[in-house]
Structure 1
Amino acid sequence: MAHSLNPKYYSPEWLAEDSTRKAPHQDIDITRERKNCILKYYGDVDQRREVNVEYSNFSLCMEDFCNVDAMRDRSILDPLRWWAVHGASAPILQALAFKLLGQPSSSSCCERNWSTYKFIHSATRNKITPQRAEDLVFVHTNLRLLARMKDSYKEGPSQMWDLGGDQFDSLDESNLGRLEFEDLSVDEPSLEGVLFDNVHEGEDVDDDDLDVDDHDV
């Protein structure tokens, strides 16, 4: 869908660079996926029809999109800026373009998961099964989420444990340098105890809820 909403891929300049290139509305595979995406985003049939009309105007340079500047800027402006300048006549599609084209491409989520996984599958735990390792990564990550919900998150061991579990979480000046040294692992019972205290007052967290054994956590 993001590919379909990028004005660059409809510009004559981009299409002329390779004879095999097609505009998104002429590519059958992209068209099918775009239709699936629109169907998922918009459950109302009338709204879907309106979105499709807006898309046809955008892809075929019809109505307000036939403006000389709008067509020329397709290969020049950043896609997000292009929609801000020229997309007012298609408000539904413009809002969707802002959501999709405004998302930066990043591998940080994978890096976070790998950072946690290295604590789980260590040299002393090299015989652990993949499923057990996956369960422990799940528990570790959710313990950190519980820590962030606590009022005391910004002070004390909860934040220190959270930083140690995610070396990509914060790059502000106050944390630069700290991330290199606060390499805490899941083998920190005193820190884990802080997270389990009063998770829900009056409720106990047992092994069945976590689906792992005490010695594994």
Structure 2
Amino acid sequence: MGPLVRVLRLVDGEKKPPMGYIYGAMEKANECIMKTFSNDMSKYFEVFKIVDNRWNCQLHRLLHVAGHFLNPELFYDNPRIELDLEVTKGWFECITRLVPSIAVQEKILEEQALYKAGYGPFGSSFAKSQRKKLSPGKNTYGHEAPNMRDLAIKILSLTCSASGCERNWSIFEHIHT
């Protein structure tokens, strides 16, 4: 359960805004659980059913997927990120839901090419050195992509909470005692 506790600590932590990290942390937790069970699906299947049920009803949102895409630390470390259907679908869904203007949506998609290619300020040596140091919501390198930058800051600055999980733990504690 250690990997799941790390995800919950990340969600409720105060060290850095977690929105850009939750999706990736949950993927790592799943990988860790699979390795613990020697990649034998028959051993971890029931665990995943429980985890997925909680994940899908309380934590997994399109905003987390979009935050994963918009986190430069994760995006540039994984060149295959844009091939992940769930990630790109979540990102596009967030664009359409959070940006009412079709003209601005189209500008964001045009600006996305700059982000993907690491063009201009996105690819400067200073920006590269700050990817793992600076919180993704505070990244201000997108001057050449102002519409995408504004949406990224809006998404990555959102707060998260594990209070739903804490309510469960409280109920479990009463049952146990």
TM-score, structure 2 length as denominator?
0.50
Instruction: Please identify which structure carries the higher helix content.
Output: 2
Q: Bigger radius of gyration, 1 or 2?
A: 1
**TM-score, length basis structure 1:** 0.42
Structure number with the bigger relative contact order (C-alpha 8 A, sep ≥ 6) is: 2
